[in-house]
Structure 1
């Protein structure tokens, strides 16, 4: 190539040269990455590609939630109905014959008087039915002449043997062994029953002898118990127990026999002499 031709070629190249800032942007290659899943926007996919696995899971859950929103709304009422608590069936009402039999069965195994409310709760029956039925049972036992009777004692109901058969029962139970209270214990117990709550010094003053040992015996047998202290002296007060009512077959202390028929005629003179 001659020098003249070389100059012409260089001139053409210089005229055709374009600065880099004026050149057109090269075409972007086709995106070969994963295509957006159905229900996901490109923005969510971009966040996934940026390396955030938590965002991916959130985006996927959001997409699924948007798609199933209608189903959740439609099925929420059904789920609430299924989750509703099933109400228990009301207790079955017993007829009179079945109620009577159930009461008799329980009364045969109790070892202490049981109240009408307790019986009603155990049998799941109204207390208004239990009380009259117990009265009816007690009346039937009395009219039939059984060797036992049903009566109120210590605020409840219990079966007892009839007084006319007491000698036979004692012969069987005691078997020749005397378990009776001493005269001193009986006198002390009577003072506590009629004067309760009462202190030991008051009992000793009434009986005229020291009663500390007798009180300990009555407490150990469950017939007497402590019930606080006296305000002025701080001495212990004593009263009878529920076992006392049960053993005597009494419903309350109001059933104790009056003392007037057993008092001597000169009781006022004796009282004045002891002052």
Structure 2
């Protein structure tokens, strides 16, 4: 066959080609009677829709075979339907297929189905007795004050329940006269021994060994506590002696730390640490006792004399 005859044949086949959605539906098979003998040849004759595609159909890969039930085609067929939908008429098979795949109902294909993870179930709320026991167990093993928010997160309970329960536990320890108490310190809660039993605790812990701060260290620590943040030069001016060595000792023991620099001079600033509040049993530096009762009566005269 020459090239001209082949082109004419392909042109004739393309002109005679009928889109799948315009083809007549295949006839339904007649119902088989119950007493009919079995069919020796179970394979039915291929219908025109199942017949092999013509060369013209093979040359058009974008055609969607709508003879398949919707939702059973491959992913490539559904993608082809999306490209054909722009040229199909409104309400046609291609448009309805696209609407069923990507319409208001969302993706319905097996591969394109969107899955939503189920929301986690809220933690069960503990009763008062169990919440009290859980808080006591945690507070017994902590090595530093723990905040109410941290306790609520660990126990998966509302913070509104944890705060009143801690107050109730602290009041119960005080009323029962235990040798320990629960109190706020450094922004959190922790168990402490009662001050009236400090001598017995000191005797057991120290066992004859005493590690105390020197008088110079105590004076420097007091200046930092009441004047913080404060520079080394300011501390030395208040005490009247050089405090560099004492400040290094306080920093090594974790009672004092650096907190930036002074904008004008660039000198380091110092303040007390959380450990300082723990050792003194204070919740914040605002709980420090006032200095007014400890000042001499002629403090104004002394201040004028130093100017």
Scaled by the length of structure 1, the TM-score of the pair is 0.76
Residues 66/111 of structure 1: CA separation in 2 closer, same or farther (3 Å cut): farther
Deviations 1:243-272 (A, max 9, x none): 111111100111000111111122112222
- The alpha-carbon deviation at position 123 of structure 1 amounts to 0.6
**Matching of residues 81-160 of structure 1 within 5 Å:** 83-160=115-192
**Matching of residues 202-217 of structure 1 within 5 Å:** 202-217=234-249
Where is the helix percentage greater, Structure 1 or Structure 2?
1
- The alpha-carbon deviation at position 84 of structure 1 amounts to 2.5
Structure of larger gyration radius? 1
Once residues 67 and 44 of structure 1 are traced to their aligned partners in structure 2, the CA distance between those partners, rounded to angstroms, is 20
Residues 135/77 of structure 1: CA separation in 2 closer, same or farther (3 Å cut): farther
Once residues 249 and 114 of structure 2 are traced to their aligned partners in structure 1, the CA distance between those partners, rounded to angstroms, is 65
Q: What residue is the counterpart of 1:3 in the other structure?
A: none
**Matching of residues 243-254 of structure 1 within 5 Å:** 243-254=275-286
Matched position secondary structure for 1:125: coil
Q: What residue is the counterpart of 1:43 in the other structure?
A: 55
Residues 149/39 of structure 1: CA separation in 2 closer, same or farther (3 Å cut): farther
Of 213, 219, 232, which residue of structure 1 is paired with 2:251?
Answer: 219
**The 10-residue stretch of structure 1 (253-262 or 82-91) with the greater mean CA deviation from structure 2:** 82-91
Once residues 251 and 155 of structure 2 are traced to their aligned partners in structure 1, the CA distance between those partners, rounded to angstroms, is 36
How many residue pairs align between the two structures?
231
Of 163, 168, 180, which residue of structure 1 is paired with 2:195?
Answer: 163
Q: Which runs of 5+ in 2 are unaligned?
A: 1-45, 74-99, 102-106
Higher relative contact order (CA 8 A, sep 6+): 1
Once residues 112 and 192 of structure 2 are traced to their aligned partners in structure 1, the CA distance between those partners, rounded to angstroms, is 57
Residue 262 in 1 paired to residue 294 in 2? yes
Residues 232/69 of structure 1: CA separation in 2 closer, same or farther (3 Å cut): same
Residues 66/257 of structure 1: CA separation in 2 closer, same or farther (3 Å cut): farther
- The alpha-carbon deviation at position 176 of structure 1 amounts to 1.1
Scaled by the length of structure 2, the TM-score of the pair is 0.68
Q: What residue is the counterpart of 2:208 in the other structure?
A: 176
Deviations 1:28-63 (A, max 9, x none): xxxxxxx9982653236755xxxxxxx9xx69x954
- The alpha-carbon deviation at position 149 of structure 1 amounts to 0.3
Matched position secondary structure for 1:83: coil
Pairwise CA RMSD of aligned residues?
A: 2.8
Deviations 1:59-96 (A, max 9, x none): 9x954x75142557599289888833122111100000
Of 258, 263, 268, which residue of structure 2 is paired with 1:236?
Answer: 268
Deviations 1:186-242 (A, max 9, x none): 000000000111111111111111111000000111111111122222211111111
Residues 62/221 of structure 1: CA separation in 2 closer, same or farther (3 Å cut): same
* 2:49/2:67 contact within 8 Å kept: no
Residues 40/183 of structure 1: CA separation in 2 closer, same or farther (3 Å cut): farther
